[in-house]
Amino acid sequence: MEQENLSVVLHAQGDLRLEHRPVPEPGPNDVVLQMHSVGICGSDVHYWQHGRIGDFVLTKPMVLGHEASGRVVKVGSAVRHLDVGDRVAIEPGVPRDMDEFVKGGRYNLSPTIFFCATPPDNGNLCRYYKHNANYCYKLPDNVTFEEGALIEPLSVGIHACRRAGVTLGSTVLICGADLTAERLTMAKDLGADFQLTVKKSDRPQDLAKSVEDMLGGQPHITIECTGAESCIQTAIYATRSGGVVVLVGLGADMASVPLINAAVREVDIRGVFRYCNTWPMAISMLASGSVNIKPLVTHRFPLEQAVQAFETTRQCLGIKVMLKCDQSDQNP
């Protein structure tokens, strides 16, 4: 192992640096990973640009990154299910306390949960990273490191579908790629049946009617991924009576929405906060070929070019920007 641990550290709003940090040592229940692939999330860019997301405020330097995979290089004394050399995907949220949410299986809601790259917790955009072994999942041989890193955003989709009750035969509207032609094209290539280009001047009621005309009826479920007020309005108007709207995107603290419209039509509005118990399902989906997420990676940068990679993401170029942390292996 190297003695230097190159890391991408956010010191303050707009102040992103590459610096060397100590190589961590594992506790009894930890593993140390040589990081391989780490995707840049919109939240990483938001912390860089604004220094906070909601109540999570950067008060000290923080390593970014939470969409990640790597190889085990050290194993804690109490770890039995992982060995040196294992390729793993990292679930970034680790409960600290055995509280009511953890006991009930919804550990993502635990108020004291550790979460990579959410103040004050460091992320894993670095050469070497220590993580609780119980939240590191071994990757099958036919699942790449990049796919392992993309399990994190895939998990958001899985959790949203679970919250919404998506099943065979469900008609689903997804709000999120509407303004960008490249993203709509990608959605089509990956299986979306219809695409609707949206202009900022479009009225939510008009968009809802366009959705109904396109689908031949209103969707059972709408998954809203933008957090924009107008999109939340569109989601409610578009969803059929008795249906479900799931709010995945995070926007302003307050939003004006047609709540009475939803109430009198019994449209359920459900929140989503990250995910829980999704990694095993995601790995099975990838290993079986049930879902193809490889085309989502459109840009790759070595760790040393992290600032350029973040700028690429900030400019909304491509879909997913992936940082390659292992100098000896830059493959997917």
* CA separation for the pair 80, 95 (Å, rounded): 20
* CA separation for the pair 4, 287 (Å, rounded): 34
User: What token pair was written down for 246?
Assistant: 């799931």
Within a 10 A sphere around the Cβ of 91, how many other Cβ atoms?
26
Residue-wise pLDDT for 54-108, tens only, equals 899 999 999 999 999 999 999 999 999 999 999 999 999 999 999 999 999 999 9
Asked if residue 220 lies in contact with residue 170, where contact means CB atoms within 8 angstroms, the answer is yes
Residue-wise pLDDT for 153-184, tens only, equals 999 999 999 999 999 999 999 999 788 888 99
Asked if residue 126 lies in contact with residue 7, where contact means CB atoms within 8 angstroms, the answer is yes
From the list 131, 127, 130, 129, the residue with the least C-alpha distance to 2 is 127
Q: At which residue do the structure tokens 């405020």 appear?
A: 57
* CA separation for the pair 110, 104 (Å, rounded): 10
On the question of pLDDT at 141 being above 70, the answer is: yes
* CA separation for the pair 177, 187 (Å, rounded): 8
Phi-psi category of residue 325: left, alpha or beta, with phi > 0 → left and psi -120 to 50 → alpha: alpha
3 state DSSP class of 183: helix
**pLDDT, average across residues 129-133:** 98
Residue-wise pLDDT for 234-292, tens only, equals 999 999 999 999 999 999 999 999 999 999 999 999 999 999 999 999 999 999 999 99
